Amino acid sequence: MTPRVVIIGAGIVGANLADELTTRGWTDVTVLDQGPLPLTGGSTSHAPGLVFQTTGSKTMTAFATYTVEKLLGLDDGTTADGWCFNQVGGLEVATTPERLADLHRKQGWAISRGVPAAVVDAAECARLHPLLDPDQVLGGLHTPTDGLAKAARAVVALARRAESRGAVFRGSVRVTGIAQSGGRVTGVETADGETVPADIVVSCAGFWGRELGKLVGMRVPLLPLAHQYARTTQVEQLVGRNGADARSAGAPHGEFVEARLPILRHQDADLYYREHNDCLGIGSYAHRPMPVSISELPEVGDGEVGERTQPSMLPFTEEDFARQWEQSQQLLPGLQRSKIEHGFNGVFSFTPDGGPLIGESPDVAGFWVAEAVWVTHSSGVARSVAQLLVDGRSELDLHGCDVNRFDEVETTDAYVDETSQQNFVEIYDVLHPLQPKLSPRGIRTSPFHDRQRELGAFFLESHAWERPHWYEANAALAKDMPPQWRAPSRDAWSAMFHSPVVAVEAWKTRTAVAMYDMTPLTRLEVSGPGACAFLEGLTTGKMDKSVGAVTYTLMLDEAGGVRSDLTVARLGEQLFQVGANSHLDLDHLRRALPDDHSVAVRDITGGTCCIGVWGPLARDLVQPLSGEDFSHEGLKYFRAMSAHIAGIPVTAMRLSYVGELGWEIYTSAEYGRKLWDVLYEAGRPLGVVAAGRAAFNSLRLEKGYRSWGADMSTEHNPYEAGLGFAVRPHTKGDFVGREAVEKIDPDAVTRRLTCLTVDDGRSVVLGHEAVLVDGEPAGYVTSAAYGYTLGTPIAYAWLPAGLPVGATVEIQYFDRRIRASVAAEPLFDPEMSRIRR
Ligand code: FAD
Ligand code: THG
C-alpha cells in the first residue's frame, strides 16, 4: 500500500507529478482541478511553451534539461501529431555590447551543465532565423536543444500515462478546505461538500498557490502577474513553411509542425517570439507590472467550449504593447506587412527571488506545494518532488527552490508583492551577481547600523538584512598600506559593487584588527533535556562535550549529502547556540524535533547581535576591556564563555571564519551599539577598522573555508567537499547519513571542490563560470575572490578528482579563457599558527 496522494491542479506541474509518482509505484494518486479537463483555464492552457534551458541556476537548468528529455520521449507515436516537444533550438539575440557579453557569460553556464550552446555572429543569427534583420543584431546565443513544449498536449499525454497506472483525474472539482488531524493532512474538502481522503496533498495550483496555502495557514510567497502575449496575422515569409501542407522529410515529429525556426528572444526590448504556423506569437515583459487579484478573475468555464473564459486570460491592453510592436517590426522587418491579430494578458506566478516554491508546510505535515513553476522546469520540478516524497531526498540541490528558504519577513504580502513585481521588471535585465535590490531596503539592520553609515558603509542586501560590503572611511588608510597589498585593477564587470578599499580592510585584518558585523548570521537556540541527544542525531560531530565546547559540524541527509555546516556551542548542559546558514536549517531542526517536547528550537537572530573581532591584535583590544581571561589558555580555540566587556554581558566564541586570532562576540540587541562603540574606541590606538563582506569573503577563501549553498550542497558528500575532517563516526552513536558516509571511500571520490589560483595574478572571476580541462568543460566555479594576502585571485571549483597540484585549467570568463592552476589548500596559514596562539 502506497500513500494516498491528492494533487490539486491538473496543469503541467500536477500532470507531471502524477506521472512521476506513478512511475515510482505510487499509484494511489488523485488529481483534482476546479476547471474542466484537460484545458482547465490555468496558465498551462494557453502557455506558448518556449523552453530556454539556460539560466544562472544550475538546478533550474537541470530541471529544464529533464523537461526537454522527457517531453521528447512523450510522443506516443500513435498519431502524426502526438509530439510534445518541437526541438527547434533557441536563439537569444544581442542588440547592445552589454547583452552580447552577457550571452557569452550564459554560454559558459550552458556548457558547464552539458547544454551545447554557441555565441554566433549576426549573419549566422539571420541564417538561423531568416526573419531577423542582421543589421539590428550584434550576435546571438544559439542553443540547439531548446525548443517548444506543447504544454496542453503534454498534460493530456502525461495524464493518460498516469491513468494507465492507476491515477485518477477529476475536473470541475474545486478544493475549498484541507482536512487535518493531529497536525497532519487527512484529505481535501471540495466545494460540493465531498472529502477526498489523503495522506499527502500536493498543491500544484499555479498562481492560485497563495490561496491554497491559506487553507492550512501557510504563506506561499508568490504573486500572480499578467504578461502580454500577442499573435500576428499571417507573415508572408512563413506561408507554406509550417503546418499541414508543409510535408517535409526533415520535420522532427510526424508531418505537422507549427514551427521550424528557433524560438527567439530579444531581451534588450523584453520580447520573445515563436511561430504559430504562418503567424508569429510575441510575448512581452516590457510593460508595467500588472498584479492580479484572484477574486477579480473571471470564473472558470463560462461560455462556449473553445471560447470559454479562462481565468488566466485577461483582456489585452493594447496601449501597453504599442512600442513593442514597433520594436518587433524593426527586428523582424517582415512584420511590417502584418498586424496584431489578437492578444491577451496571461497570468502566472512571480516570487521574491524568481525561484520556484517546492516543499512541505512547516506546520501541517503532508501538505506540500510545487508552485511558481514554468512549463520549462515542470518535469524537472515534478521529478524532484516525487523523489522527495518517495525517496525522502532529491538528487538535485533544492535550496534555491525550497518554499521554506525565506525568513518570515520575506513572506509577508507587502514584501512578496514588491519584490515579485521587481522580478517581473528585471526578468530579462543583465544582472550582476552582487546586484542588490533597490527596494524594499532597510528592513533589517543591526544595532551597529548608524555607526556603519557614519563610516561610509556600502550596503548590499541579503534576506532583507543590510550588510556592509566595505566602508569608505577606510579609504583614508590606503596611503599607509604597503604596496604588496594593493590589488591589480579590475575589468568593468568584476569592478562593479567592488572597491579598492577592500584591500585596506583585508590588510588591517591580517596585520592589526578588524570588526565584522556578524549579526545577519542565522543563530538558533536549541534547549531542553533532550537537546544534546537531538543534535547528536542530526550532525556528524560529537556534541556531548563539556559546557563551553564549540564544534564545527555537518548536517547530512540520508544519502550523505551536505545539508548544512554549523557551529554548535554548548552554553549549558541543556543549552546550545547553533550558528547556521539559513532559515532552512531552522526548518530542518524543527521538523526533526522529538514529539516528547524534550527539545525546543528557536531563532534568536533578531534579538541578538554579533561582532567578529579578528586580527593579530584582537587580544590587545579585548583583554583590557574585560575581567575574564581571554588568553590562549584562558579561552582555547573553539571554546565559548560568558564574559563582560566594559560591563556588557557577552558570549565570546573563539573562532574565526577569516582565519585570524579573535572571537565572535555576541550580546543581546539592546547592548549592541554600546559594544560596538567600546570596541571601536579601544581599538583606535591599535588601528582597528570596521570591515565588510567583501574582505570577509576574500579572507575566508584564502583560508579555504567553505560557504554552504555556494561551494557545497546536498549534491555533494563531505569528502568531495573537503569536509571529511568534520565527520567523526567513531566519537558517537547513530546520526542521519552515517550509514551512507561510512560506505564512502574518501580517497575514491570522483570529483572534488578544488582550489585554483589564477595564473596571470590579476583576473578576478565571480562564480558560476565554466572550467575547462584540456579544452573541454569539466566543472564550474563556486566562489571566487582576489586574495590580498597572497596577491592572487582565487577560485574554488568543482572538478574531476585526480588533478594534481599545479595542473593547468581554464576558466571561461565571458569570451575569454583565463588560465588557472590547481593549488594545495588552504592557501593561507595551513599550520593554523595565526589562530592558535
Ligand atoms: P496551472 O497550469 O495554472 O495549473 C494550476 C491548476 O490549479 C489550474 O488548472 C487551476 O484550475 C487549478 N486550481 C487552482 N486552484 C484550485 C482549487 N482551489 N481547486 C482545484 N483546482 C485548483 N512558461 C514557459 O516555460 N515558457 C513560456 O513560454 C511561457 N510563456 C507564458 C506565457 C504566458 C502568456 C503565460 C501566462 C505564462 C507563460 N509561461 C511560460 C508560464 C507557464 O505557463 C506557467 O508557469 C505554467 O503553466 C504553470 O503551470 P502550473 O501547472 O503550475 O499551473
Ligand atoms: N560562525 C558561526 N557559525 C557559522 C559560521 C560562522 N555557521 C555557518 C557557517 N559560518 C559555518 N562555516 C564555517 C566554516 C569554517 C569554520 C567555521 C564555520 C572554521 N573551521 C575550522 C577549520 O576548518 O579549520 C574548524 C576546524 C575544527 O573543526 O576545529 O572555523 O562563521 N558562529
| C-alpha–C-alpha distance, residues 702 and 544, integer Å | 32
Instruction: Give CA angle at 67 (62, 71), nearest 5°.
Output: 155
Answer yes or no: is pLDDT of 304 > 80: no
Question: Given this model, what pLDDT does residue 77 score?
Answer: 59
The residue whose CA is least distant from atom 28 of ligand 2 is: 552
At residue 83, the pLDDT reads: 87
258: CA distance to ligand 2 center in Å? 56
How many H-runs (helices) and E-runs (strands) does the chain carry?
A: 18, 41
Q: 320 exposed, middle or buried (CB, 10 Å; 0-12, 13-18, 19+)?
A: middle
Contact 163, 124 (CB under 8 A): no
Contact residues for 350 (Cβ-Cβ < 8 A; gap 6+): 222, 223, 224, 225, 372, 420, 421, 423, 424
Which of the four pLDDT bands, split at 50, 70 and 90, describes residue 301? low
Q: With bands split at pLDDT 50, 70 and 90, how would you rate the model's confidence at 300?
A: low
Place 740 in a pLDDT band, splitting at 50, 70 and 90.
Answer: very high
Average pLDDT over residues 776-784: 98
CA atoms of 454 and 61, how far apart (whole Å): 43
**Mean pLDDT confidence for 382-391:** 98
Distance 580 CA to ligand 2 centre (A): 10
**What pLDDT score was predicted for residue 150?**
94
Residue 724 in this model has a pLDDT that exceeds 50: yes
Does residue 146 have an active-site annotation? no
Asked about 657 being catalytic, the answer comes back as no
Q: What is the pLDDT of residue 742?
A: 97
Average confidence (pLDDT) over 232-260? 71
Distance CA 347, CA 128 (A): 31
pLDDT at residue 127 greater than cutoff 90: yes
Q: How many CB atoms lie within 10 A of CB 342?
A: 10
Nearest of 252, 199, 235 to residue 82 by alpha carbon = 252
Evaluate if residue 255 carries a pLDDT over 80. Answer: no
Residues 6+ apart with CB under 8 A from 394: 384, 385, 387, 388, 714
Q: CA nearest 150: which of 212, 68, 213? A: 68
Q: What is the pLDDT of residue 261?
A: 96
Residue 166's region, left for phi above 0, alpha for psi from -120 to 50, else beta, is left
pLDDT at 489: 97
Angstrom distance (rounded) from CA 621 to CA 688: 9
Q: From ligand 1's centre to the CA of 7, what distance in Å?
A: 14
Indicate the range of 45-59, 300-314, 661-675 predicted with least confidence.
300-314
> Once rounded to an integer, what is the mean pLDDT over residues 809-826?
98
Cβ–ligand 2 contact at 567 (below 6 Å): yes
> Out of 272, 516, 680, 788, which one is annotated catalytic?
272
Alpha carbon of 656 to ligand 2 centroid (Å): 7
Whether cis (ω within 30° of 0) applies to the bond prior to 500 is no
Residues in the chain: 837
Query: Quick one: pLDDT band at residue 244, thresholds 50, 70, 90?
Result: low
Residue in 129, 227, 276, 716 annotated catalytic = 227
Share of the chain above pLDDT 90, in %: 94
Q: How far is ligand 1, taken at its centre, from the CA of residue 349, in Å?
A: 8
pLDDT of 248: 44
Backbone angles phi, psi at 788, to 5 degrees: -70, -35
Catalytic, out of 565, 585, 603, 711 = 565
Residue 631, Cα to own-chain centre: how many angstroms?
A: 42
Q: What integer pLDDT is reported at residue 247 of this predicted model?
A: 43
pLDDT given for residue 243 in this prediction? 67
pLDDT tens, residue by residue, 451-495: 999 999 999 999 999 999 999 999 999 999 999 999 999 999 999
Residue 306, pLDDT > 60, answer no
**Does the structure show a pLDDT above 80 at 256?**
no
State mean pLDDT over 286-308.
76
- Counting ligands in written order, the one closest to the CA of 696 is 2
Cell triple for residue 296? 477579480
Rounded mean pLDDT, 516-545: 98
Which ligand is in closest contact with the Cα of 32?
A: 1
Per-residue pLDDT tens over the stretch 679-716: 999 999 999 999 999 999 999 999 999 999 999 999 99
* pLDDT of 302: 55
Distance in angstroms (rounded) separating the CA atoms of residues 203 and 655: 44
**Does the pLDDT value for residue 308 go beyond 90?**
no
Q: Which residues of 254-290 are buried (b: 16+ CB within 10 A; e: fewer)?
A: eebbbbbbbbbbbbbbbbbbbbbbbbbbbbbbbbebb
Which numbered atom of ligand 2 lies nearest the CA of 541? Answer: 28
- The answer to whether residue 273 is catalytic is no
- Which pLDDT tens digit goes with each residue over 50-63? 999 999 999 999 99
Amino acid, single-letter form, for residue 166? G
pLDDT of residue 761: 97
Mean pLDDT for the chain?
95
Q: Whose CA is nearest to atom 19 of ligand 2?
A: 657
Instruction: Reply yes or no on whether the pLDDT at 804 is more than 90.
Output: yes
Cell matching residue 625: 576591556
The ligand minimizing its distance to the Cα of 357 is: 1
Per DSSP bridges, beta strands 200-203 and 5-8 are: parallel
Distance CA 583, CA 402 (A): 10
